[in-house]
Amino acid sequence: VGTLKQVKKPNPAYYIGKGKAEELAELVKSTGAERVIFGNALKPSQAFKLETLTGVEIIDRWGVSGVVNLQILERG
């Protein structure tokens, strides 16, 4: 639904900066998104904090591959 780009040093608590995390939360709210997908690996604590801030599921690159593998297993 949308893309955000990081230009400054990220906040280790969120992987992205605090301002970008708040911008992400607003984007989720305005679009009605059900989940956010990150192209990089997140620490569990980062995913948790982002989920708390946005109110939706956060999936990182490893989570995406797990979902794809699960769908393949369910079909197979």
Domain membership of residue 55 as a residue range = 18-75
Quote the distance between the C-alpha of residue 8 and its chain's center.
18
CB 21 within 8 A of CB 14: yes
CB 27 within 8 A of CB 33: yes
Q: Smallest Cα–Cα separation from 55: which of 24, 15, 12?
A: 24
Q: Looking at per-residue confidence, does 72 or 26 come out higher? A: 26
- Note the pLDDT of residue 39: 84
**Domain tally, the chain:** 1
Evaluate whether residue 29 is within a structural domain.
yes
- Residue 24, pLDDT > 60, answer yes
Evaluate whether residue 13 is within a structural domain.
no
35-64 per-position pLDDT tens digit: 898 888 899 999 999 999 999 999 988 776
